Chain A
Amino acid sequence: MTVTAQPAVGKEAPPGAPAPAPRRRPGRVRRIALPYLLLLPALLLELLVHLVPMVIGIVMSFKELTQFYIRDWGAAPWAGFDNYSLSVDFDAPIGKALLHSFFVTCAFTVLSVGLCWLLGTTAAVYMQENFRGRGFLRAVFLVPYALPVYAAVITWAFMFQRDNGLVNHVLHDQLGLTDSPSFWLIGDNSFVALLVVSVWKGWPFAFLIVMAGLQNIPKELYEAAAIDGAGMIQQLRRITMPSLRPVNQVLVLVLFLWTFNDFNTPYVLFGKAAPEAADLISIHIYQSSFVTWNFGTGSAMSVLLLLFLLVVTGVYLILTSRGRRGADA
């Protein structure tokens, strides 16, 4: 709008007077265009990296893509909605297994995110106090976050071995808590093993984020509260938690998305075929596409997962921002 208004101003200016408008005009255009120009390469790459594979995945989900066509997948016959109906036919084994895996993943995500958040927040709140060795403890807490995932999870896999693992050695041999050594990598306990590794790996991130959030709360608030007679619990409820709200909103969302999609932990822990009790959806989809070479069905499952995560994220963002607006008012 301002750009179109400029020529009129220029025309009305007396001849001979310095004409700033024509010089300002390209400058302004440039100033407005420059950020977009600078963003363009990133935008293009972003499209290539995220959008193109996604579109390819969606196209694949409508194809009958097996080993006969992987060399030239464009030539695979169209399957219509067959892959989708196969995935959501919960009476047939493929759909039933997908649904089971979905429920396992939901339970796993709720527990893992909850525990990560609880541990991280508790540790961060306690680390606010100044005490000897605080720096050392903080560093130790961040170790799981700094270790390469594969190295860490492989170590856990060794520790969870039934006959030679450290976990059974402590629980069974030393503490005598179980009648016989338990299996952790197969059978029902595998869910617990997966949860332990996931929380161990995830809580330092929560710790780090909450700690950063805590730094932003003015000390005066606590001092004033203390003068007014608020105890530690009340300070936590009335000052710390409300102040952390925006931080928590992002933290929980990120943890949720990471945990729901976590592939590395179950893959390294259990290999290609996870036990039924710990059959997370990411590895289930991997098995459906890459191990059984049913890429079409696998893609359809991925698209369904994407839709689910989009809906959950959308609803979550709407709910939490409404809550915040309410709190702000």
Chain B
Amino acid sequence: MRRTRAAAASAVTVSMLAAVTACGGGSSTDGGSNDSPKTLTYWASNQGPSIEADKKILTPELKKFEKQTGIKVKLEVVPWSDLLNRILAATTSGQGPDVLNIGNTWSASLQATGALLPWDAKNFGTIGGKDRFVESALGSAGEAGTDPAAVPLYSMAYALYYNKKMFEDAGISGPPATWDELVADGKKISKDDKWALGAEGANLSENIHHVFVFAKQHGADFFDAEGKPDFTSDGAVAAVKQYVDLMGKDKVIAPGNAEYAQNQSLQDFAKDKTAMVLWQTAASTLKAHGMSDDEWGVAPVPVQSGAPGADTAVNSMVAGINMAVFKNTDNIDGARKFVKFMTSDAEQKLLNKTYGSIPPVKAAQEDPAFNTPALKVIRDTLSKSAAPLPQVANESQFETAVGTAVKELFAEAAAGRPVTTASVKEKLDEAQQQMPKK
């Protein structure tokens, strides 16, 4: 016991000294050094069905890169639940990876820490220029009017996945285009332990992605023009209420989904327990759960009745993964080379095909593989009706505060307690007051 304590103590001391020296040495502001030109550390986010699957997919590509450049890449696949905390810790200590993946919604928040290499014209020049990337993807790589803090890597958008057989059994001819239609269809489906729509009620980010879209459809935003939180506008309240009402009032979401946070709703979908899910790129996971491609269909996420239609009304966030470089990397040239490799046309086609996402690189998008019916819906959404989440420094706090409020409202709805406009407003008001004042 004493020995372990001493070992722990010395470990802590060493890491503290490391942190102190790193703080002292972290004065280089415009990019790291080339002290170790032969190695890179890469934190990849978990994109595939499992961490092991990601390692299997990425390792041969990294070997390819090593062959081309002689730079060895040490890969670590980080689960989503840990990624932001890990990045935060790396930012504080200065002991992070050289290159990393970030969720594109965090771009502005992480940009504010000043830990990421800004992608100015010169840096973009080393990877073939800014024009290679799709506009909407660049829009979610940092605060507007600044140099992006990251480079888009995989693009995604939400779509409505529906179970063809369950629709047939309920006598429904096609996927709903509006929320009213979805609720009407849902009432036909939701009986005998079968439910119309799946949700991940305890997953804060999922909650945010959906209420953001509902808010846009109600003409509201969660931040005002100056980037200040504005959670309690009528539109925002109506948006949150409409989403939670799908469980509480309309009863098309199973109450059990209120505690889902580990993609259980996809499993229910694959097991014919739920007829629809709103998801980003579900194909590979559905396959992993034993569902063949012809069993499900894809349609755009529904919009409000009477609205201009799915092609113009916002029905998805611009989802995706960006690639960032830690400013104090010991291999700045290698890091840029690696970003260039990962965003090259060939790699973009290969990786996005594997993950079922859309390449944010225009040239790669032309590949016929991205023209399947499912991916066409997502591509159209991305180009016509998707909007980036607010790119403000407080975005990650907003995800937690409002995401938690929605989680609690789902818990109320699941317990059979009424969710009213007043109770939604109260929760959102509490969330807003928890936001930092600056």
Contacts and interface: CB of A to CB of B under 8 A. Distances in A.
Interface of A: 42, 45-46, 48-49, 52, 64, 66-68, 70-74, 92-94, 97, 161-163, 181, 183, 185-188, 271-273, 275-276, 287, 290-294
Given A187-B415, A272-B204, A163 B408 contact: no
Nearest to B9: A45
Nearest to B393: A67
Closest 9 CB pairs between A and B?
A: A93-B433, A186-B411, A273-B404, A45-B9, A163-B256, A292-B397, A93-B430, A187-B411, A291-B400
A48 B113 contact: no
Contact of A292 (B23, B92, B113, B401): B401
B81 interface: yes
A74 to B, nearest CB: 8
Nearest to B2: A42
A68 B404 contact: no
Given A45-B9, A49-B9, A187-B415, A273 B400 contact: yes
A186 B414 contact: yes
B261 interface: yes
Contact of B436 (A52, A276, A291, A294): A294
A271 B410 CA distance: 16
Q: Which interface residue of B114, B201, B259, B411 has the most chain A CB atoms within 10 A?
A: B259
Interface string B391-424: 0010011001101100110111011000000000
A70 B113 contact: yes
Nearest to A296: B436
Contact of A271 (B16, B202, B411): B202
A186 B202 contact: yes
Main secondary structure of the interface of B (DSSP, over half): helix
B434 interface: yes
Given A45-B6, A66-B436, A290-B85, A185 B12 contact: no
B109 interface: yes
A67 B392 CA distance: 12
Contact of A64 (B12, B13, B85, B438): B438
A287 B393 CA distance: 18
Contact of A185 (B26, B259, B412): B259
B26 A49 contact: no
Given A49-B13, A72-B23, A187 B115 contact: no
A97 B412 CA distance: 18
A290 B82 CA distance: 12
Interface string B242-276: 00000000000001101101000000000000000
A180 B393 CA distance: 44
Given A49-B12, A183-B258, A293-B397, A273 B403 contact: yes
B436 A186 contact: no
19 contacts: A46-B9, A48-B12, A67-B393, A68-B112, A68-B113, A71-B92, A72-B26, A93-B433, A94-B433, A161-B259, A162-B255, A183-B414, A271-B202, A273-B403, A290-B85, A290-B88, A292-B400, A293-B109, A294-B436
Contact of A186 (B6, B115, B259, B403): B259
Contacts of B438: 64, 66, 68
Contacts of B81: 271
B10 interface: yes
A64 B436 CA distance: 10
A92 B434 CA distance: 9
A188 B416 CA distance: 13
